[in-house]
Structures are given as C-alpha cells and as structure tokens.
Amino acid sequence: MTERALSFGAMADAYERFRPGYPPELFDRVTAYAGHPLRTALEIGAGTGKASRLFAGRGLTLTATEPDAAMLAELRRHVPADVRTRRAAFEELRPAPGEAYGLVYAAASLHWTAPEGRWARVAALLEPGGVFASFGGPVRLADPDVEEAVRAARAPFLESHEVPSPDGTPPEDAMQWPGTELRRSEWFTDVQQEVIADRLTTSAQAYVGYLSTVSAYLVLPAPQREQALARIGRVLPQTVEIAADITVHLARRRIGVAAATAEGVAPPSTPAAP
C-alpha cells in the first residue's frame, strides 16, 4: 500500500487532466450535515486540488496538505491564492497551540493514511463538535459488456485495479469503510454515509488517461503498464459512459473528549515548511 500511496507524483499533470472533479452538491451535503456555516477547513492529501477548489470557492479558509511535491506544485497552479498549502503527510500534521478546524476532510486519500492513531489524529485537528468528511469512489464503466472487455484485456497484468477496503468490509455491506471504523471510534459520533450519483461521458482516450493515474497501473513496470493500457484502449468504443458515484462519510467530533491525550498524537510542534 505504501508503494501505491507514493506513486502519484510522477503523473501529477495527467492526474489533473484526467481525474474528474467534485460536484457542488458535495459541498452542500457537508454543510447541511454541519448544520451551520463552516469557516475553516483542513484537507488531508489534497492531490492537485480537485476538492480544494470546490471548498475554497465557497468561502472557507482552507489549508491544503499534500506530501508529494509534484502534486502540491500542480495544486498551487489551480487553487485560489489565499489557500494555505503545506507539504506534509497526514501523520506529520500537528495542531499548533489554540489551532482547531471546523472541518477536516479527505478526498479519495484517507485510505493512504496509516491506521495507527488515525482517528485520534483527526480529532486533535478538529474543534469540539467539528465535522470530519471523507469522500470518493472508484470510476467504473457503466456498460457491463465494456467493463468485461476491459477486465479481460488487463487480466494478464492485473486482476483488479481498485483499492480494497482497508478494513476488509465486504462491498455488499450497508456501511462501508471508513464509516465502519468511525462507528467504533471513541472520538466520533453521528456517523452517516451518503452516495452522490454521478454519470459522465468521455472519450476512450480520456478514460485510458484516467487509468494511467490509478495506483495499480502506476506500480507496474513501465513496459507492462504500457501494454496493459494499450490493450484496454483497443477494446474500448470511441466514447464511454462512466459511473463516478461519490460515497460520502460524515462524522462529528465528540464534545467532552480531550483530543490532546489522543494516542499517537505528539505535542504541538512547528508546522512543516511548505
């Protein structure tokens, strides 16, 4: 998983070009859950800023964090100038004295964070009653026949290109990860899961471009990656419909639980240099 987590920087330009963004409805769902206007937010693993643009564009004071220098450089080209950016992995984040956010969120990045102390770390960054949001989902071909053709084309190289559930939750279960972990966490309450349906039509070339940014392909040796993507391109129709449904998990930091004593969270330190 670590190798896959660190594989994206080499494809930062393609990630920005081919990955879909997030619809305005997502922001509306998060703020409706919060029940009051959100003013400050911290983003974990912001990538090229696909979600950063949505949240910053709605008036939040946003700090976007990202460990990969190439991804962060791409992000800075696309977000408003008043978005604060920090080059840091989630595990390196420490709240400064008196610092807490009304919202902490992760856009298709939480599964790359270390599980040890994960929820204590998030809680330490949130103000009491603050909101945590995690959202994302696989981009799948909507036509099952086309999906089967792609599966057969990639089979010599990959059985699947999706990231498995970090806690092994079966895909048919009603509550998916990270909601499963949030429900067990002492730090959070009012855990909710919603799905925002999204359908897109794109070219075969753009879909292959998207696959070129998926970690399962990025960690293949270059010759195998090129062969796999070329085989997939040959079985695709000229245009494809994709299902890019966004699964949103929301939770609220419990009031009265002192995050300063959270296991795995070190005392506050000087923020990492950008």
**CATH code for position 100:** 3.40.50.150
pLDDT for 105 = 98
Q: How many domains are there within the chain?
A: 1
Q: Is residue 63 part of a domain?
A: yes
High-pLDDT (> 90) share of the chain, %: 86
Residue 268 has pLDDT above 90, yes or no: no
Residue 232 lies in a domain: no
- Residue 149 within a domain: no
Answer yes or no: is 267 within a domain. no
Residue 146 has what pLDDT? 98
Q: Mean pLDDT across the stretch 257-265?
A: 53
Cβ within 8 Å of residue 149, ≥6 positions away? 235, 236
Answer whether residue 265 is part of any domain: no
For residue 84, tell me if it sits in a domain.
yes
In this predicted structure, what is the pLDDT of residue 1?
43
> What residue numbers bound the domain in which 59 lies?
2-139+163-199+243-255
pLDDT bucket at 8, cuts 50 / 70 / 90: low
Q: Considering the domain boundaries, does residue 263 fall inside one?
A: no
Kindly tell me if the per-residue pLDDT of 127 is higher than 80: yes
Per-residue pLDDT at 267 exceeds 90 = no
Residue 156 placed within a domain: no
